[in-house]
Amino acid sequence: MHIRVDDTVEVITGDDRGTRAKVLRLERKAGKIVVEGVNTVHKHVRRSQKNPQGGRLRKEMGIQLSNVMLVCPACNAATRTGARRQPDGQRIRYCKKCGAAVGQLSASKKQEKTRS
């Protein structure tokens, strides 16, 4: 998965198309992500001691991973990402449009061996 928590993504399809926002949570098994302010629903809550007022809560629901694109911090465009291996063995994400490094995917081979 080339999208991480706190990345900025742009929604490319659906009701919220064109919205840029931060990723709050990943749901890996379902293949979905929760994006701030996107795909909001109203959850009706009954009165209780925890919630004495009751009423409606606004809540973000997950959207399919294929419906978002990562926004490159260097060129500020929604782009596909690729993976590249550095000379020290570390894998990084990079922007397919401008070629800039976006973030780390995995530690270098040397660091992984020292952890074990």
Cα distances (Å, whole numbers) of residue 86 to 1, 4, 100, 108: 19, 20, 13, 8
Residues 9 and 19: their CA atoms lie apart, in Å, by 8
Select from 3.40.50.800, 2.40.50.140, 2.30.30.30, 3.30.360.10 the CATH code of 1-71: 2.30.30.30
* Mean model confidence pLDDT for the chain: 89
Q: What percent of the chain has pLDDT over 70?
A: 91
pLDDT at 2: 83
Tell me, what DSSP letter sits at residue 13?
Answer: S
Question: Tens digit of pLDDT for each residue in 13-44?
Answer: 999 999 999 999 999 999 999 999 999 999 99
- Predicted model pTM: 0.79
Q: Residue 32's closest CA among 53, 51, 49, 9?
A: 9
pLDDT at 69 over 90: yes
What are the boundaries of each domain within the chain?
1-71, 79-116
How would residue 107 be classed by pLDDT, with cut points 50, 70 and 90?
A: confident
